[in-house]
Structures are given as C-alpha cells and as structure tokens.
Structure 1
Amino acid sequence: MPIAARRSRAAAALLLTTLAAVLMAVPAGASTADIPNYTHASDTSEWSSDDKGAEATCPGGTHVLSGGAWIGDAPGASVSGDIVIDEIIPSADKVKVFGVEGNSTGNSWTITAWAVCGSVHGAIRTRSLETSHSSPPYHEMTVTCEPGEWLLGSGYELEGARGGARMGALIPTLNSVYGAANEKATTYNADWSLRVFATCADEPPPGLWLYSETSPSNAEPKRVEAACGGAGDRQVALGSGFDIDGGLRGGIVLDGFYSINTLSRVETAEMHGDDNDWSVTAYVICAWED
C-alpha cells in the first residue's frame, strides 16, 4: 500500500473516532424548519478536448451547502480516467469547478459544476487551509470548523498541479474534513499545493448524520453510492466525500463526486494500467428535509 494511502487510512481512523463523539452531540431539534428551500443548481461546460471549467449558482435567497462535479463524455469516445477534476471550490452562492487532461485525449468532454443549495438557521461560513507550495509525492490537510460549528460540505483546489496530481481522499466528519492528494505515478517535478474547503454552520440542521459505503477491492472502475437513512427518516443529502484506498500511487482518478436528493455518488477510474486492487469509500452527510 502506498505511503499516502497508509496515511489516509490512519487519518480516516482518527476522524471516525472523532465522529463517534460528534454524533452523540448533535441536537435532534435545533430549529422548527430543517432544510428550507432545499434544491440543486448545475452548469455544464461546452464540449471540447480543452481544459475547462463551469460554475453553478444557487437561486437567490439560498446558500451553497456543498458542491460537486462530474466529467461527461460521448458514447464510444470515453475519457474516463483521462481527466483530472482539479478544483471544486464552494463560496456563498456558487460552486466553481475545473477539469484538466491528465492523459492527452482527442475526444471531446464536458465538466459539470453541481451545487446543493438551501437555507439553514444561523450563519454559514466557508473556511479553507492550504499546504505549502512544493513538490512532495503527496499533500494533506485537515480543516476543522470552529467550536460549536458543524460541517455541511467541502471542496478542494489543486493549485499548480495542472493534471500532475490528483485527489485521493476528501473524508468528512461532522465538524471537519481531511483531504489528501498524490502526484501521479510518473515523475512530476513542478511545485503544487492542496487547499481544502469546509462549509460550516453554527446551527446544525436536525438529524445531521454521516453515512458511508465501501466498494469491493479490485482493479475495475468503480461507482459507489452512499445513501441517507431509510425513507421513513425523510433525510436529504448535503455534503459528500470519498477515500480511494490502494492502487498505483496517483493512478486512480476521480470522474465524479456529488450529492443528489438522498445519496452521494463517487465515480473513479484508473489513469494508468494498474493490476493492483483498490477500493473506494463514499461518504454522505444527511439531515432531515423541511
């Protein structure tokens, strides 16, 4: 197992230990309305084989609760594993995403920016921290909400990597998020940094909870969904996360990562031929709908 993967698993274990304590502290009825105005917004780029971005804007009167992105391609002209989602950056009312070609491809593709939007009681703030701008094999960073705040969603930015590094983990608890990125398996000598974003609320929506689902471990492309509680729980999905465990260092690429309605979805593929087994864990942060 690569060193970055070992560190990711160790960090995940620490975060889940923290999570157990956090879950016990979440109030069951912090407001009379749970997630008012819950909705989604999206924006899809043009079709081309160039690096490109998109920006989703929430409707007026709502706030970005979390963000996501996915890569689109045409039947018979797959780019799965060829495109690196270089950034998913949340702000107050927008989610900005950008994709770059990690493997040169003549096929056209799109990138879609996805925003989960809504209103919650109290203040919502987006916090971020950035690693040093350097060229180690991996960067990692944890962003923790202020005491008394709760995590709704997250994001990341690979600054300066331009396809030379890719995300291996974005693991949420209910008050923090851990991010880790690896340089691709081939040598990449340029300096780059990882910035991790956390969207935090000072009043948690009732029923705030974290679920996860892990794929089988093999060398195949994977699509993993983590669902909120049963239909009787009337939960909706807010933030999402993922953890890629195993495989060739930096050789597994995120094709999509987003929350929709009652689940989160993570799609991954190999960028380089790799006979090593690997697995993906998808995370979803849920709360009761209004």
Structure 2
Amino acid sequence: MGSRSWKAALVAGVVVATPVVLPVASARAVTAITVETEQSPSNSQASKTITVDCPTGTFLYGPGGGIDGGAGSVTLESVVPEGSPPFRARVTAVELGAFSGSWSVSAWASCGPLTTNLQVVPASTASSTATTKEVSMSCPGSRALYGTGFRTSGGSGSVLVHDVIPGTSVAPKSVTARATARPGLTPGWRLDVFGVCANAAPTMRVEQATTTPGSASTRGVSRVCQQSGTRAHGVGVQTMSEASPGDAVDGRIALSTTAALTTTSGSAGAAENGAVADNWQLRTYVICSD
C-alpha cells in the first residue's frame, strides 16, 4: 500500500441494513489518522476496481476515489467502505460509452485507531428503471458521520452519481446520494449510500468550498480544515446549475474525485460528459474532527 502522488486535474475552472454494534474503544483517535492510497494500471480497460487497506491495527474513517485521465468519459461508479469494523476502501470507475484513451483509478483510505462504535451503515433504493434516484442514511443513536460512500448497480456505465451530501450540523449524522441515468438506459438499476459512523469526536464540523459558476468542461475544488487541530476524514460532493442554485446538473456531469487527499484537506472534481450548455458549479464538503 504505497503512497502515490495524485495527478488528476482539480484546478480547472430504502432498505437500511441493521448495523452491528462494535466493542467500545477510544473516542479521541482522529488526530492520529493517516492517508493510504493505491492506484490501478493506466490503460483503456472499460471498468477498473482498486482497493486500499488500512495498516494493521488501524481502521477506516472515510473512503475516497479519483480518476486520472478520462476527460469526462469515465466516472466514479462506487466508493465503498468495507469491513466490520471498516478497514478497506473499494473504488470502481467505468467508461461512459466507448473511450479509447488510457486512464486509471485510485482509492484513498483515511485510517486511525479503533474508535467507539465504528461501523458502516448502508441504505439502498429499489432496483428500477427510474431516471433519477435519491437515498439517505442516518447514523444510529448518538453516533456521528465520519465518512461517506456510494455505489450504483446495474447501470451498465450509464448512471452518473452527482451528489453525495453530508449533513452540515456540528456533528453530522446523515448523508444523501443522488444519481441520474443517461438517456437510453433500459435495465433496472440501484443506488446505495454508505455512512461510516462512530461516537462523535469532541469537535466535529463540515467545511465547504464551492467553485464559481462557469462553462469550463472540468471543475475541481479543495477545502482545508479550518479549526486548529482538526483532521479531514470524510468528503462529499454536489453539482449545481447556476440557473437553479442547489439543483444538480443531472446526468451530464461525471465525478472524477471525491477524497480526503491529505490528513487536513478534502477535494472534489468533476467533468462534463459531452457538451453542457448551462453554467454549473461544484461544491466539496469535508468532515473535520479532532
């Protein structure tokens, strides 16, 4: 699990499973986190999956994924936390139709010591042919959200996840994912959202950063944890139309990055899948804790 530099362009313009209660451990572990990453080979294979494990004795607070290359013709299909308690990030990216260029996918894992009641909580939509889908999860009891994840199934490379939005309370508890099928998709598909939950840290907050609206074909935005001593471990993303602020540019924007790339910052990136006439902007959400 070597650490590799990330080269993606980031500067251009409901059925809920029953969570397992885990053994009690320290609830003040966030300052000890590390970031692990793995990258797939770069080639023209239509679908790629890469995993990264936390070092022995540490566990996953938040998964992340990113694409190097692809030019809007490749999108993140899933960024999933795995294990009970979680210890692995699994990331899959797929081509959106025929694409002859080379590209790679990377997985990131924000890792730290076991903290109290660390667990993955999933929620899913039904499988259907609906064009747009939304699903939310909420951490049980008094637990807070540390990391986010998502997955589409059955989309055949024709479903674009465009929103993975954590709650913005002081100690966030929820995350909502939204996705849209491209025109012509006929099979049924499903959208899953995942939350990495644990007892709240003493200080938790969600930081935000948003690009200005524009017509650039790619957009990226990063956010550093602002409060001294806090660390980044969970990231969300939202695409928005300038004409209708807060509304997604449904089915036309391919996610290229959503990850805590360092222990103090998170990033999101996206690219147009074909020409998008209206201006759009991108927002990143970074969950920071001490």
Give the TM-score category using the shorter length. Answer: 0.7 to 0.9
1:80 shift after superposition: 1.8
Distance in 1, Cα, partners of 2:44 & 2:223:
31
1:148-168 Cα shifts (integer Å, max 9, x gaps) = 110000101100112111111
Q: Output aligned runs, 1:108-119, within 5 Å.
A: 108-119=102-113
1:227 shift after superposition: 1.9
Match of 2:59 among 63, 86, 91: 63
Match of 1:182 among 160, 169, 180: 180
Corresponding residue for 1:135? Answer: 129
1:112 shift after superposition: 0.4
Q: Output aligned runs, 1:147-226, within 5 Å.
A: 147-173=141-167, 174-184=172-182, 186-201=183-198, 203-220=199-216, 221-226=218-223
1:48 shift after superposition: 1.5
Distance in 2, Cα, partners of 1:239 & 1:120:
16
Structure 1 contact 212–227 (Cα < 8 Å) conserved = no
Q: Give the 3-state SS of the residue equivalent to 1:157 in structure 2.
A: strand
Instruction: State whether structure 2 residue 82 is matched by structure 1 residue 84.
Output: no
Instruction: State whether structure 2 residue 84 is matched by structure 1 residue 72.
Output: no
Corresponding residue for 1:267? Answer: 269
Match of 1:126 among 95, 120, 129: 120
Measured on the aligned residues, the alpha-carbon RMSD in Å equals 1.7
Structure 1 contact 37–62 (Cα < 8 Å) conserved = no
Structure 1 contact 41–57 (Cα < 8 Å) conserved = yes
Instruction: State whether structure 2 residue 40 is matched by structure 1 residue 39.
Output: no
Distance in 2, Cα, partners of 1:58 & 1:248:
34
Distance in 1, Cα, partners of 2:255 & 2:148:
15
Unpaired segments ≥5 residues, structure 1: 1-30, 74-78
TM-score by length of 2: 0.82
Distance in 2, Cα, partners of 1:243 & 1:235:
23
Structure 2 contact 76–255 (Cα < 8 Å) conserved = yes
Number of equivalent positions: 250
Distance in 2, Cα, partners of 1:101 & 1:207:
40
Corresponding residue for 2:18? Answer: none
1:187 shift after superposition: 2.3
Corresponding residue for 1:145? Answer: 139
Q: State the percentage of identical aligned residues.
A: 24
Structure 1 pair 204–120 and aligned structure 2 pair: CA distance change class (3 A): farther
Corresponding residue for 1:235? Answer: 230
1:252 shift after superposition: 0.5
